[in-house]
């Protein structure tokens, strides 16, 4: 596979490693971006790489929480530009999506569109002149549910608890938005993720030249630290760094049943346009 400058640039942006090292890693892994990242992590001690395309699309989040604090809905609606996302009609449509999903007790996007929202979406597209899409909906039911959406309406979370109260659940939803845990508890981590991290830690530790038993302890320690860093219960609480989330819950006699976190555009690859090249191409077409 040919290694393009764009691939090298992406790897450079995601890892911060030099261009030549990025090109070498891509060449040796046959252009596999994730394998190249793993290789660079093993060789350079790089802790982690940025995710690609996290802020690739524009749009807003909408939220609806039940008056009794036992259920909530979080919805993401995308637009082509930030300008459109600030349009009052678009903002109203986002809330309409959340409200309708809540009323119908569903997280099925297609069912909502087929049930009447598609006509509203098409009217919005015609009125604003941009494509709009309802990307995803999350719905949580539990004895206690809390929701938090950041002021820019681009990051939000829902948290489900057994015990505690809505205020605690909302505080934890704020924590989830800010700190971005991957799972509730270390034991919830996918084994494939753990195996990948372990192989990287083993390669890094082996470079120390220390005896095998010391290397094994180093790997065990780093893996334990990784589990704590990405697990909600083991993280220092965002509003009180001296207390871990699990202690906060224990003090309140509560248990976290789960959470969901949305960030507008995460995981969507956004096409980039070379404006100068586009103008030149148009000029050639006219000539």
- For each of the domains in the chain, give its residue range(s) and CATH number, in order of start: 1-50 (1.10.8.10), 58-184+248-263 (3.30.479.20)
- Quick one: pLDDT at residue 145? 98
- Quick one: pLDDT at residue 55? 35
**Any residues with CB less than 8 A from the CB of 155 and at least 6 apart, and which?**
61, 149, 177, 261, 262, 263, 264
Looking up tokens 């009323």, which residue turns up?
Answer: 103
In terms of Cα–Cα distance, which of 184, 154, 159 is closest to 169?
159
Q: Which residue has the higher pLDDT, 211 or 48?
A: 211
Q: Does 98 score more than 90 pLDDT? A: yes
Q: Does 46 score more than 80 pLDDT? A: no
Average pLDDT, the chain: 88
Give the pLDDT band (50/70/90) at residue 276: low
Which DSSP string do the residues of 71-133 spell out, in sequence order?
EEEEEEEEESSHHHHT-HHHHHHHHHHHHHHHHHT---HHHHIIIIIHHHHHHHHHHHSS-EE
Question: Against a cut of 0.95, is the pTM above it?
Answer: no
Give the pLDDT band (50/70/90) at residue 287: very low
- Quick one: pLDDT at residue 273? 44
Q: Does 12 score more than 60 pLDDT? A: yes
Q: Does 218 score more than 70 pLDDT? A: yes
């Amino acid at each position: 596979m040919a290694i393009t400058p764009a691939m090298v640039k992406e790897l450079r942006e995601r890892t911060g490693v030099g261009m030549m090292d990025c090109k070498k890693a891509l060449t040796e892994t046959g252009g596999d971006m994730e394998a190249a990242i793993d290789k660079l992590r093993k060789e350079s001690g790089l802790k982690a790489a940025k995710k690609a395309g996290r802020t690739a699309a524009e749009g807003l989040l909408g939220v609806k929480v039940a008056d009794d604090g036992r259920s909530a809905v979080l919805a993401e609606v995308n637009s082509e530009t930030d300008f459109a996302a600030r349009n009052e009609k678009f903002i109203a449509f986002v809330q309409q999506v959340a409200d309708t999903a809540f009323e119908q007790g569903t997280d099925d996007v297609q069912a909502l569109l087929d049930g009447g929202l598609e006509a509203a979406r098409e009217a919005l597209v015609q009125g604003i002149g941009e494509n709009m899409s309802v990307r995803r909906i999350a719905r949580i039911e539990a004895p206690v549910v809390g929701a938090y959406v950041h002021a820019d309406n681009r990051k939000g979370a829902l948290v489900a608890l057994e015990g505690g109260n809505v205020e605690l659940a909302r505080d934890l939803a704020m924590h989830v938005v800010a700190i971005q845990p991957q799972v509730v508890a270390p034991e919830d981590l996918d084994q494939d993720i753990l195996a990948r991290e372990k192989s990287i830690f083993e390669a890094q530790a082996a470079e120390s030249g220390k005896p095998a038993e010391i290397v094994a302890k180093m790997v065990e320690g780093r893996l334990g630290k990784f589990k704590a860093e990405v697990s909600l219960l083991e993280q220092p609480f965002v509003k009180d760094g001296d207390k871990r989330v699990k202690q906060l819950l224990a003090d309140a006699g509560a248990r976290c049943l789960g959470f969901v976190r949305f960030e507008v555009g995460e995981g969507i690859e956004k096409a980039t346009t070379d404006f100068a090249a586009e103008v030149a191409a148009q000029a050639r077409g006219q000539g």
